[in-house]
């Protein structure tokens, strides 16, 4: 058994129990017990997999996501702005890696099929952004500017990830694609649940996609290191 297996098992078990506690409306104490276990477990898994040679950016990304999760867990007042700022910092760090990965691609082959896929993704993400900003939030909202920046950042990350995947189609691009899909779903259904309609299906999709995203973002970081992709820290 690998040294990282216990940490991965702890992450999977705590994630499963946390998701079930939300879906099945178990006691809140179960959520409070298992949700905080998820991030330390996956961080320890990352540390074991890279044999202690951890990078600063992956740790910071996980840390900012963890702080945001804990603010949600304790129902911090006026949560929207600090949560967006924490996530934005994490997204900018992921974007930093993504830009370096894209620039490392030499002589990319751009076909009509590739252009079509990118155009479809752009249209889809822009539609989601429009729905979130126009149908859920009001332009008179004091945080509308920050919401717009947040949405545009997520859209650009999504577009960049799709371009990265169709040009490389390697393990790192695959893991990042799954991560971005989960993050988009997580943010979208968080907004729908908290600012549109508090339906169970919205929060269920939110917590599931959030839990899954932690695993795949770590796999992306590990795949980058295995493939010796460029980084400065």
Domain ranges for the chain: 5-226
Residue 93 has pLDDT above 90, yes or no: yes
Higher pLDDT, 129 or 230: 129
- Gap between the Cα atoms of 85 and 31, Å rounded: 24
**Amino acid 74: pLDDT:** 85
**Amino acid 230: pLDDT:** 61
Q: What confidence tier does 16 reach under pLDDT thresholds 50, 70, 90?
A: very high
Average pLDDT, the chain: 89
**Amino acid 232: pLDDT:** 47
Mean pLDDT computed over 123-141:
80
**Amino acid 130: pLDDT:** 83
Mean pLDDT computed over 22-45:
93
Task: Give me the percent of the chain exceeding a pLDDT of 70.
Answer: 97
Mean pLDDT computed over 193-222:
94
Higher pLDDT, 26 or 141: 26
Higher pLDDT, 57 or 192: 57
**Amino acid 204: pLDDT:** 96
Task: Give me the percent of the chain exceeding a pLDDT of 90.
Answer: 58
């Amino acid at each position: 058994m690998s040294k990282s297996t216990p940490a991965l098992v702890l992450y999977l078990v705590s994630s499963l129990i946390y998701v079930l506690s939300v879906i099945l409306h178990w006691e809140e104490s179960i959520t409070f017990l298992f949700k905080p276990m998820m991030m330390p477990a996956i961080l320890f898994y990352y540390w074991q997999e890279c044999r202690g040679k951890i990078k600063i950016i992956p740790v910071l990304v996980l840390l900012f996501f963890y702080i945001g999760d804990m603010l949600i867990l304790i129902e911090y007042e006026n949560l929207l702005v600090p949560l967006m700022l924490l996530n934005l910092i994490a997204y900018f760090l992921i974007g930093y890696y993504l830009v370096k990965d894209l620039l490392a691609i030499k002589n990319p082959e751009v076909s009509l099929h590739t252009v079509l896929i990118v155009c479809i993704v752009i249209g889809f993400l822009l539609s989601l952004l429009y729905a979130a900003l126009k149908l859920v939030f009001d332009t008179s909202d004091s945080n509308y500017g920050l919401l717009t920046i947040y949405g545009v950042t997520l859209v650009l990350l999504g577009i960049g990830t799709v371009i990265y995947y169709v040009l490389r189609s390697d393990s790192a691009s695959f893991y990042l694609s799954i991560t971005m899909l989960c993050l988009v779903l997580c943010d979208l259904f968080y907004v729908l649940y908290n600012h549109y309609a508090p339906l169970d299906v919205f929060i269920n999709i939110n917590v599931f996609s959030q839990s899954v995203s932690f695993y795949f973002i770590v796999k992306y970081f590990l795949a980058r290191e295995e493939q010796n992709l460029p980084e400065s820290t």
